[in-house]
Structure 1
Amino acid sequence: MKYVGQRLERVDGIKKVTGDLKYVDDMKMPGMLYAAVKRSPYPHANIINIDISKAEKLPGVKAITVGKDFPKRVGLYLADKTFLAVDKVRYRGEAVAAVAAETIEIAEEAVRLIEVEYEELEPVTNALEGMKPGAPLVHPELGSYTHAPIFHTIPGTNISEHFKLRKGNAEDAFKQADYILESEFYVPHIQHCPIENHVAIAKYDRDGSLTVWASCQSPYAVRAALSSAFEIPLNKLRVISPAIGGGFGAKAGTTLEGIVIPLSMRTGRPVKLTYSREDEFANSYVRQAMHSKFKTGVTKDGKIIAMNVEFVWDGGAYTEYGVNIAKSAGFAMAGPYEVPNIHGDSYCVYTNHPVGGPYRGFGMAEIHFCIEQNMDTVANAIGMDPVEFRKLNAHKPGGRTATNAPVYENCGFVECIDTVVKDIDYYTPSEQPSDPRKVRAKGIACGMKAPSMPNNVASSAIIRLNEDGTAYLSVSAQDIGQGSDTTLTQIAAEALSLAPEKITINTGDTANTPYEWQTVASRITFCAGNAVLKAAEDIKKQLIELASIKLSIYPRDLKLENGYVVSTQYPDKKVSYAELALGLTMPDGSGVHGPIIGRGSFIPENVKDFDIETGQGDNPVAFWTYGANAVEIEVDTETGHIKVLKVASCWDVGKVINPTLIEGQIEGAIVQGLGSALFEEIKLDKGKFLNQSFMDYKIPTIGDMPEMIVKFVENEQHDGPFGARGIAEPAMIPSAPAVANALYNALGVRIHQAPLTPERVLKALKEKENN
């Protein structure tokens, strides 16, 4: 192919590196007001009274709102949250009141003048404790909340989702096992840490129309939530997301948008709210913490025949998004391995912690930290090589997933394992450093991920030809750094046989770009790519229809080539797209067709709901992406510090659209995964953040970058655009467990909690010595 598979430069690259690309925080408007927020000092408390009288008298204050002004609950999957607390606060830092003023300084002073009387309540600060009967209820009204039918809430408890997986008969299968092993793990909360903080501007006009500019991944999802919350019809509500400086899931739903809207409604002026980095840590989404338990039954030859699995997710104060993470984790609780008998439960539990939400991997990085360590633990216990143990039990063509869905016919998972084993030289012992305090070793881990989305969600695209033969491509898939603008442009260019530089992509404006469900789930290349392909096919059909008239050649004998419709028999007979873009004028002066506009929409075919009592379904997801990472590490036994020296990664991506972009995605995912392996952990004390800035919360820097070998397997996805499937999230999944497994191979210690900090390494070594 001419454009697909090529290393085209990013279409947004020049604007980004020169600073010409404008983000929401760059925007200023005439008469704009600035917002500040009054936040709760308690993790759990009833609101007795809010006194805004002193704040209202402050010169420069234009409006103040409280939760009771707009009490309707919203949520993408479970309607459990309001934008300002109503009657009760559920986490420390929750928004209680908001102020709009002429300057940010006045707004912040007004916030200090607002007086709130609280009645403190006992907080829930542990998900396992929160599940128990008699625990304080974070949401006593849970039974009245609306939710999507695929979720199972348990009213009268803190359990907002209980996903059940029942495959085969695990109880009977354990009786046939030669070995039964049990293990537990814990993954803490972590933060997304996008470079760009959350920011939003709302402008409410006198005709009742509302425009919101926001740094959001999913403008149409945000529009739907805001329309519901403020009862504004969709034709009067416009959401614009001009550019996004990183998201990783933090900007997938609604956060601060609903705070500024009431202020603009009251003043008739644009109102802007920008989160500080401290706000970003506590008041946007965090990745949910998770407790896990595994019981694994294995035969003498290494076949896994039974598993009991339990995941308990700390969903935080609101789980309107988190319930779907618990469900998605349930689908994959056995990992990329075929297990005929599984009894599994995945719970999402309310706590008085910050709000849990989507994070790169959507639960898969968390559960695979546990699954992949469990795989090594079991393999070592039965005396089997961990690589061979994985390959024996791996998903292969003709096999079945945990939901009993068939594994696709050209699944390249085992090939990915073999590739990283070779690239890391896994079976050659690491060359040890001269310093006797330091030890080097290798480890491996695998992973899989599917797009977690309902079975009826759509993507759409529109392509318009211009009079000079160039084109506009309009989508609402958002480029949050992953390079989707470039990928979709390449797909359009290939399908239209039109140079990419002749195509300009427009995104992120619900009034002017077509519907897109959400930019999440590593689904954009697959779903939006298919919509673009269909729009291009629509253009192609129209071009050939007109060219057939113009050239007096049958449509079957025409093709698109480099901006022309060309005869397949006589290449000198052709007509340019420019000549056809506005239709044809016939010899008698009449017009034919009119301007050429291509329309494409896509919903994955045959994706079906699962059985809510068993979790079983023959096709509950659009596809699975499989892969593996292998690492080499160096551990300092005196300090406990782990340094990752080398990572080999291989993924079955279906088809590479742009090698440079996909390599960048995988390299970024590796390093982000190493952050969760080694550094990242939100520390909370009774709901209070203890490390709410980059002074105390560490993420990887250039000094932590390992050598990386990135490779792909290309087994084309039968229904993907040119055979492609998603990869942006999956590549993060095995990073952390690969390091944990390498640590065990280096020192013989198994750490069951992330991150693998020097303190935990030294503690594990000391416990090993004492035993």
Structure 2
Amino acid sequence: MKFVGKSIKRVDGVKKVTGSLKYVDDMKMPRMLYVAVKRSPHPHARIVSIDTSKAISLKGVKDVITGEYYTKRGGLYLEDKNFLAVGKARYRGEAVAAVAAESEDIAKAAAELIEVDYEVLPAVTNAIEAMAPNAPLVHPDLGDYKVAPVFFPEPGTNISNHYKLRKGDAEKGFSESDYVFENKFYVPHVQHVPIETHTAIAQMDADGYLTVWASCQSPYAVRQALSAAFDVPLNKLRVISPAVGGGFGSKAGTTLEGIIIPLAMRSNGRPVKLTYSREDEFENAYVRQGLHATIKTGVRKDGKILAVQNEFIWDGGAYTEYGVNIVKAAGYASAGPYDIDNVFTDSYCVYTNHPVGGPYRGFGMSEIHFGIEQNLDIVAEQIGITPVEIRKINGLKSGGRTGTGEIVEVSGLIECLDNVIRDIELDKVEPASGPNKRRGKAIACGWKAPSMPNNAASSAIIKLNEDGTAHLLVSAQDIGQGSDTVMTQIAAEVLSISPEKITVRTGDTDHTPYEWQTVASRITYSAGRAVFEAAQDAKAQLFELAQIKLGVYKRDLEMRDGFIVSKIYPDRKVAISELALGLTFEDGSGVHGPIIGRGAFIPPNIRNADKKTGLGDHPVVFWTYGAQGVDLEVDVETGHIKVLKVASSFDVGQVVNPQMLEGQLEGAILQGMGTALFEELILKDGKILNKSFVDYKIPTSDDMPELVVSFVENPEETGPFGARGVAEPAMVPTAPAIANAVYNAVGIRLSTMPMTPERVLTAIKEKERQSK
């Protein structure tokens, strides 16, 4: 029986729709203490003094701490972050003190009583200005921070990472070009706005054993970061993530856990809990970094791009410990999915006195493609060819070379593009729905690789039960993408048992095996391969026993519907349940014992790129390619954009669950529409002016267009059954496809997101003024 490639029901579906699935904020424990935080009202200020006496004297308050209690910095990639401000506050809303009390109300009242004396410092609230030689330094001690060797901070500046890509000779390429163009684009900060806000509980036992329950995507990464930050050995630190109500990258690293751990250490075994309000989520969880992009392109008359030069300046915020990796990923992907001989890119991660930047679905790719794909349409029009032609001329094909010099073995880009052109009916001119409406269609392409270190490992364990059912243990977190179901399908396929007979358990560092992180669209690929290997290991053990039981060589056995069956003599078979605890002989003796399958996986042959040039023959494990087309209307009187239809096609290697894969693409499209049309953190002097759903708009079901989704299946050799990840790549082309369609409709080029009615109408009026 086949399970991979089938739309089986989600294994967590019933619990989620009935509300019986328990999240961290649902957890109530005896003698729980609740935490409130005192936050800085200034974007940049030295902390002169903190008076906590009134707070600690309030009835019901058990403890108050400041950053001076624990001054060690933490961070996954760059150790630049204190969980409570030490010495100075670097953004509005930064935690400077925390209170633990018997109730939330008491904790909040006590936090209000804390008195902080600040010396306000000059703030930097623009990433370009922050790069100036005389700009105030957000982190004067940057040179002393511990940093992973693949990132390159520049001490004495606000640049926390400068990634360089140098392929070929860009100057020579420009000199040989018939045309040279330069365009600028800007992408603002946005928030992830998961339904579940960040929540964490910490409890330290009398023997120094620390348990943290957290709404986090990556329990093992959080455990590692917290262990280093608080000097707790890994065997004394347990991280549990029972369920996650949406993440999109915002729950990939550490946020509020480090605020409550020092309080838990001082609370004599009492659990300590902190839950972010929605306003906290906007201000104090990760935001997507802002981007200033400049793209210079040299092209021949026939449409072949000879050179590209990129400058990406990223507004990383007050702490860039995770953001430095986004900037690196954007750098090595900066040529886009195109075969260009000469590429010169500088990608800078810059400290500012803004909220902390971090990973967001697409991990930098959505941001840079907003410029890359609009730039292609601009260039095509200027030299007199179509947007399709310029992409087909330059698109990566088998045998081509990426921006890092890697040879492409398989690329479904052109197939995806053809699917989209067909499904959006690109060449068909269709009427608008009214006299003030203008109809437009356009396309955009995109790509993404899993941004992970070479040793990003996954592991899995399968335990067979004596009735032939199984427990699957992984630490890949299902944050809504459906990984629990996909892991179950992969195991079921190998063992040839129904998915209903497999129970998956995740998210407990004491009891589920190691997983690097649930990020980078890598779970189906990496964790799925570990599950595949674990199931194969269990299968091999079963075959060893079955050949004894049946008197048939194991090479002549196969799995079939819960049995091990002889290929030659089908009547010779034994149920898995009979062998789950080993093989018992007629005299009562036995061999082997319980069947436990173990699987581990590290992507093979990924090698570091050259530090000076960014070039490498295999710096990433694979690329996921795709394209999208958009059909929309623009109201020329109001500036309102109505997306009518989106066609999307991606090369996914192997479809594991068609229904869930379609859901991933549909969700990514809607999320991409949100950033394209609505979403923007409005910042003034470092202050967020729209930190609620009243003022920060996201798309709803009313905004959902007609969606046409298709897939290309060029198998990924190292993936389980040939699968590769697509959850993030599916969002990458959406915004530029919308921008290109707006241009097709009304002839205006919007270089800034979001494309609000105000911006559209202003551009239309400016176009009319210039045409007079």
TM-score, length of structure 1 as denominator length: 0.99
**Letter of the structure 2 residue corresponding to residue 240 of structure 1:** I
User: Which deviates more from structure 2 when the two are superposed, residues 562-571 or residues 599-608?
Assistant: 562-571
Partner of residue 663, structure 1: 662
Partner of residue 93, structure 2: 93
Report deviation, 1:628.
Answer: 0.5
Following the alignment from structure 2 to structure 1, what is the Cα–Cα distance between the partners of residues 303 and 240? 54
Partner of residue 653, structure 1: 652
CA contact (8 A) 1:717 1:724 kept: yes
Partner of residue 744, structure 1: 743
**Letter of the structure 1 residue corresponding to residue 303 of structure 2:** G
Following the alignment from structure 1 to structure 2, what is the Cα–Cα distance between the partners of residues 115 and 223? 33
Following the alignment from structure 2 to structure 1, what is the Cα–Cα distance between the partners of residues 260 and 72? 16
Following the alignment from structure 1 to structure 2, what is the Cα–Cα distance between the partners of residues 601 and 441? 49
CA contact (8 A) 1:70 1:229 kept: no
**Letter of the structure 2 residue corresponding to residue 96 of structure 1:** V
Describe the SS at the equivalent of 2:650.
Answer: strand
Following the alignment from structure 2 to structure 1, what is the Cα–Cα distance between the partners of residues 606 and 407? 13
**Letter of the structure 2 residue corresponding to residue 447 of structure 1:** G
Partner of residue 466, structure 2: 467
Report deviation, 1:589.
Answer: 3.2
Following the alignment from structure 2 to structure 1, what is the Cα–Cα distance between the partners of residues 325 and 534? 31
Partner of residue 363, structure 2: 362
- Taking the TM superposition and a 5 Å limit, the aligned residue runs for 1:85-484 are 85-268=85-268, 269-409=270-410, 411-433=411-433, 435-484=434-483
- Taking the TM superposition and a 5 Å limit, the aligned residue runs for 1:528-567 are 528-567=527-566
**Letter of the structure 1 residue corresponding to residue 715 of structure 2:** E
Following the alignment from structure 2 to structure 1, what is the Cα–Cα distance between the partners of residues 638 and 588? 85
Report deviation, 1:50.
Answer: 0.8
**Letter of the structure 1 residue corresponding to residue 235 of structure 2:** N
Following the alignment from structure 1 to structure 2, what is the Cα–Cα distance between the partners of residues 292 and 612? 22
Following the alignment from structure 1 to structure 2, what is the Cα–Cα distance between the partners of residues 29 and 174? 66
Describe the SS at the equivalent of 2:191.
Answer: coil
**Are residue 616 (structure 1) and residue 615 (structure 2) matched?**
yes
Partner of residue 74, structure 2: 74
Cα offsets for 1:685-704 (capped at 9, x unmatched): 01001000000000000110
Following the alignment from structure 2 to structure 1, what is the Cα–Cα distance between the partners of residues 722 and 98? 49
Following the alignment from structure 1 to structure 2, what is the Cα–Cα distance between the partners of residues 587 and 16? 47
Report deviation, 1:586.
Answer: 2.7
Report deviation, 1:300.
Answer: 0.8
CA contact (8 A) 1:443 1:745 kept: yes
Cα offsets for 1:314-370 (capped at 9, x unmatched): 000000000000000001111111110011100000000000000000000000001
Report deviation, 1:267.
Answer: 1.1
Following the alignment from structure 1 to structure 2, what is the Cα–Cα distance between the partners of residues 767 and 557? 75
Partner of residue 486, structure 1: 485
CA contact (8 A) 1:462 1:600 kept: yes
Following the alignment from structure 1 to structure 2, what is the Cα–Cα distance between the partners of residues 125 and 412? 41
Cα offsets for 1:735-758 (capped at 9, x unmatched): 100010011111111011000011
Report deviation, 1:412.
Answer: 1.0
Partner of residue 60, structure 1: 60
Following the alignment from structure 2 to structure 1, what is the Cα–Cα distance between the partners of residues 684 and 351? 17
Following the alignment from structure 2 to structure 1, what is the Cα–Cα distance between the partners of residues 469 and 87? 56
Partner of residue 758, structure 1: 757
**Letter of the structure 2 residue corresponding to residue 407 of structure 1:** V
Q: Which runs of 5 or more residues in structure 2 are unaligned? A: none
Report deviation, 1:556.
Answer: 1.1
Report deviation, 1:557.
Answer: 1.3
**Are residue 13 (structure 1) and residue 13 (structure 2) matched?**
yes
Following the alignment from structure 2 to structure 1, what is the Cα–Cα distance between the partners of residues 598 and 54? 56
CA contact (8 A) 1:183 1:374 kept: yes
Partner of residue 673, structure 2: 674
Following the alignment from structure 1 to structure 2, what is the Cα–Cα distance between the partners of residues 171 and 131? 25
CA contact (8 A) 1:430 1:442 kept: no
Following the alignment from structure 1 to structure 2, what is the Cα–Cα distance between the partners of residues 768 and 407? 42
Following the alignment from structure 2 to structure 1, what is the Cα–Cα distance between the partners of residues 344 and 525? 32
Following the alignment from structure 2 to structure 1, what is the Cα–Cα distance between the partners of residues 586 and 561? 27
Moved over 6 A (4+): none
Following the alignment from structure 2 to structure 1, what is the Cα–Cα distance between the partners of residues 69 and 84? 9
Partner of residue 568, structure 1: 567
Report deviation, 1:311.
Answer: 0.3
User: Which deviates more from structure 2 when the two are superposed, residues 223-232 or residues 469-478?
Assistant: 223-232
Report deviation, 1:24.
Answer: 0.5
Following the alignment from structure 1 to structure 2, what is the Cα–Cα distance between the partners of residues 79 and 93? 20
**Letter of the structure 2 residue corresponding to residue 381 of structure 1:** Q
Cα offsets for 1:402-449 (capped at 9, x unmatched): 00001123x11101001100111001112222x221111101111000
Following the alignment from structure 2 to structure 1, what is the Cα–Cα distance between the partners of residues 431 and 459? 53
**Letter of the structure 2 residue corresponding to residue 33 of structure 1:** L
Report deviation, 1:590.
Answer: 2.8
Cα offsets for 1:610-667 (capped at 9, x unmatched): 0111010011001100000100111010110101000000000000000000000000
**Letter of the structure 1 residue corresponding to residue 15 of structure 2:** K
Report deviation, 1:304.
Answer: 0.1
- Taking the TM superposition and a 5 Å limit, the aligned residue runs for 1:518-537 are 518-537=517-536
Following the alignment from structure 2 to structure 1, what is the Cα–Cα distance between the partners of residues 345 and 34? 49
Cα offsets for 1:536-560 (capped at 9, x unmatched): 1100110000111111221111111
Alignment RMSD (CA, Å)? 0.7
Partner of residue 638, structure 2: 639
Aligned length: 769
Following the alignment from structure 2 to structure 1, what is the Cα–Cα distance between the partners of residues 241 and 649? 33
Give the percent of matched residue pairs that are identical in Structure 1 and Structure 2.
Answer: 68
**Letter of the structure 2 residue corresponding to residue 402 of structure 1:** G
**Letter of the structure 2 residue corresponding to residue 689 of structure 1:** I
Report deviation, 1:101.
Answer: 0.3
Following the alignment from structure 2 to structure 1, what is the Cα–Cα distance between the partners of residues 200 and 127? 32
Report deviation, 1:264.
Answer: 1.3
Report deviation, 1:577.
Answer: 0.9
Following the alignment from structure 1 to structure 2, what is the Cα–Cα distance between the partners of residues 165 and 317? 26
Describe the SS at the equivalent of 2:477.
Answer: coil
**Letter of the structure 1 residue corresponding to residue 716 of structure 2:** Q
Cα offsets for 1:196-254 (capped at 9, x unmatched): 01000111110100111110000000001111111111111100000010000000000
Following the alignment from structure 2 to structure 1, what is the Cα–Cα distance between the partners of residues 623 and 143? 34
**Letter of the structure 1 residue corresponding to residue 415 of structure 2:** E
Cα offsets for 1:685-724 (capped at 9, x unmatched): 0100100000000000011000000000011111110000
Cα offsets for 1:667-687 (capped at 9, x unmatched): 000000000000000000010
Partner of residue 719, structure 2: 720
User: Which deviates more from structure 2 when the two are superposed, residues 129-138 or residues 552-561?
Assistant: 552-561
Describe the SS at the equivalent of 2:259.
Answer: helix
Q: Which runs of 5 or more residues in structure 1 are unaligned? A: none
**Letter of the structure 2 residue corresponding to residue 63 of structure 1:** D
Describe the SS at the equivalent of 1:267.
Answer: coil
Following the alignment from structure 1 to structure 2, what is the Cα–Cα distance between the partners of residues 421 and 677? 21
Report deviation, 1:591.
Answer: 2.3
Following the alignment from structure 1 to structure 2, what is the Cα–Cα distance between the partners of residues 241 and 136? 39
User: Which deviates more from structure 2 when the two are superposed, residues 515-524 or residues 255-264?
Assistant: 255-264
Following the alignment from structure 1 to structure 2, what is the Cα–Cα distance between the partners of residues 55 and 18? 41
Report deviation, 1:494.
Answer: 0.2
**Letter of the structure 2 residue corresponding to residue 334 of structure 1:** A
**Are residue 510 (structure 1) and residue 509 (structure 2) matched?**
yes
**Letter of the structure 1 residue corresponding to residue 306 of structure 2:** I
TM-score, length of structure 2 as denominator length: 0.99
CA contact (8 A) 1:424 1:632 kept: yes
